[in-house]
Chains A and B, each alone.
Chain A
Amino acid sequence: GAVVSQHPSRVICKSGTSVKIECRSLDFQATTMFWYRQFPKQSLMLMATSNEGSKATYEQGVEKDKFLINHASLTLSTLTVTSAHPEDSSFYICSARGTSGGETQYFGPGTRLLVL
């Protein structure tokens, strides 16, 4: 299957700092990328959907000014957690859907964020 990478795989930061997470589709072009958040022992919660070159669409309850999403190219989307707080600590997973047809979403390995 297609490969999606995320960087970094884990990050620890101080409260108040901003953290950027990258999501890349390595062997296909992704018109649409999705960002999910997962708390321990819970399912994935969709945060936002981004299309290349346009503004992201956020799910209800997700602060767009706190979670900045940029889908700059067909292979890269970034999620920036601004002014992170301990309650933002979570597992963030991105997924990508290709341009070449098919509905399959491929997921990245996830980024574990710990805010102290």
Chain B
Amino acid sequence: SQELEQSPQSLIVQEGKNLTINCTSSKTLYGLYWYKQKYGEGLIFLMMLQKGGEEKSHEKITAKLDEKKQQSSLHITASQPSHAGIYLCGAVRAGGFKTIFGAGTRLFVKA
């Protein structure tokens, strides 16, 4: 089974709508990354969260790590077609070395 569970697997939203993507781990995380990927391309770093309760923003994208450091949510406000892509969460385990990725959430934004 996946070490990291992302939900939903895919999401279609109307332009201008808000949306949330979740990433859940069964183990406490040392840190959590959010990346965006367009099909067939590399990953664009969005943000990294390390402290319980930490929240960061990047333009219209906000991500938060819960106090237990086992769940993170990514929230996009007023979505635009440019937000479309695959959002991947990556977990850094204790020891802070390897990053393991969730299955990704495919976001489609209808104009």
Chain A residues engaging chain B, CB cutoff 8 angstroms = 1, 4, 6, 32, 34, 36, 42-44, 46, 49, 91, 93, 95, 103-110, 112
**B97 engages A93 (CB within 8 Å):** no
A43 in contact with B101 given A103-B31, A103-B48, A105-B33 (CB within 8 Å): yes
A107 in contact with B98 given A42-B103, A44-B88 (CB within 8 Å): no
Residues in chain B near residue A49, CB distance under 8 A: 97-98
Residues in chain B near residue A109, CB distance under 8 A: 41-42
How many Å lie between the Cα of A46 and that of B56 in the bound state? 26
**B40 engages A110 (CB within 8 Å):** yes
6 residue pairs from A and B, CB less than 8 Å apart: A43-B101, A44-B88, A49-B97, A104-B33, A106-B45, A110-B42
Residues in chain A near residue B98, CB distance under 8 A: 34, 46, 49
Other than the given A43-B88, A93-B43, 18 more pairs (CB < 8 A) read A1-B45, A6-B42, A32-B97, A34-B98, A34-B99, A43-B101, A43-B102, A43-B103, A44-B88, A46-B101, A103-B31, A103-B50, A103-B96, A104-B48, A107-B44, A108-B42, A109-B41, A110-B42
**B100 engages A46 (CB within 8 Å):** yes
Residues in chain A near residue B31, CB distance under 8 A: 103
Residues in chain B near residue A104, CB distance under 8 A: 33, 45, 48
Residues in chain A near residue B101, CB distance under 8 A: 36, 43-44, 46
Q: Indicate with 1 or 0, residue by residue over B89-106, a CB within 8 angstroms of chain A CB atoms.
A: 010100011111111100
Residues in chain A near residue B40, CB distance under 8 A: 91, 110, 112
A107 in contact with B104 given A34-B98, A44-B88, A49-B98 (CB within 8 Å): no
Residues in chain A near residue B33, CB distance under 8 A: 104-105
Least CB separation from A10: chain B residue = B40
Q: Which 4 A-B pairs have the closest CB atoms?
A: A109-B42, A107-B43, A107-B42, A44-B101
How many Å lie between the Cα of A109 and that of B92 in the bound state? 21
Residues in chain B near residue A105, CB distance under 8 A: 33, 45, 90, 99
Residues in chain A near residue B35, CB distance under 8 A: 107
